[in-house]
Structure 1
């Protein structure tokens, strides 16, 4: 969906930093990064906007991109033979797509914008580049995402919300 960007491009990640710092829910993405590390991490991310109702992740798709939510909210739907079942809402300061990223399995749910959103995407190619160039930072990102997965699996309401 999103093409990798050269690592020399700079994007203002201050809004994403603010969103993650102010999300105090169990569903927050909280990597232990300094401001300088966040700025560097931002060079591996692709920012983009979505409109209300736009699908970000389609259930059963093979894409492994992770999406970090700066503004707005996303809804997560599991689709069975009887239609859609809303299973979670993901707010600013959190992330979606971590399940497929880690498992390399098809997406387990559909994610769409509940409102207009600003998102940042990280695809596996860019994460590999980050891992090769900044291994400790990549490990911190992976650990923070792993923590998010663990908290979601503990919560019954979000048990299937690992996308």
Structure 2
């Protein structure tokens, strides 16, 4: 991410939980956790605001951070070797960055705020801390993220969203 975009706006993990529960898209994050389970996960997440037009992820970057989208829309695009662009939109209640999160590969696409966004980041280091403290919870999260990855990979128009 080029700049942090941190703001002083109030963030509440409940708003992210609501966005995830309301997402009915094909590649929605299937993560139905109890309030008790959201506590440890929320403690690992870093909320921040992203402005419209601000770059969140750059194609080719080596960062492995995963982002949960509370509100707003991200434009995810990938340039191929011939310079052609592929595009997908990722909205509230979904995630972006799951491809790099699960690998040591570079980012396969860029993500830019199509509108002002409220996001929650999860680094691999914080996820590993959670996995050490709450392995069953970490497994549920990993399986939900894997479901998103698999659905996007099998759906040509959404494949570009695997960043």
Fold shared per TM-score above 0.5: yes
Tell me whether 145-154 or 83-92 shows the greater mean CA deviation.
Answer: 83-92
> How far, CA to CA, are the matches of 2:77 and 2:128 in structure 1?
29
- The aligned residue for residue 16 of structure 1 is 16
Q: Deviations over 1:88-107 (max 9, x none)?
A: 00010000000011121000
Could you list the structure 1 runs, at least 4 aligned residues long, displaced by more than 3 angstroms after superposition. Answer: 80-84
TM normalised by structure 1 equals 0.90
- The aligned residue for residue 8 of structure 1 is none
CA RMSD of aligned residues (A): 1.7
Contact 2:76 2:160 in 1 (8 A): no
- The aligned residue for residue 100 of structure 1 is 100
Provide structure 1 residue ranges, at least 5 long, that are not aligned to the other structure.
Answer: 4-10
- The aligned residue for residue 63 of structure 1 is 63
Provide structure 2 residue ranges, at least 5 long, that are not aligned to the other structure.
Answer: 5-10
> How far, CA to CA, are the matches of 2:39 and 2:30 in structure 1?
15
- Report how many residues are paired: 156
TM normalised by structure 2 equals 0.90
- Aligned pair in 2 of structure 1 residues 45, 84: CA closer, same or farther (>3 Å)? farther
Matches within 5 A, 1:134-153: 134-153=134-153
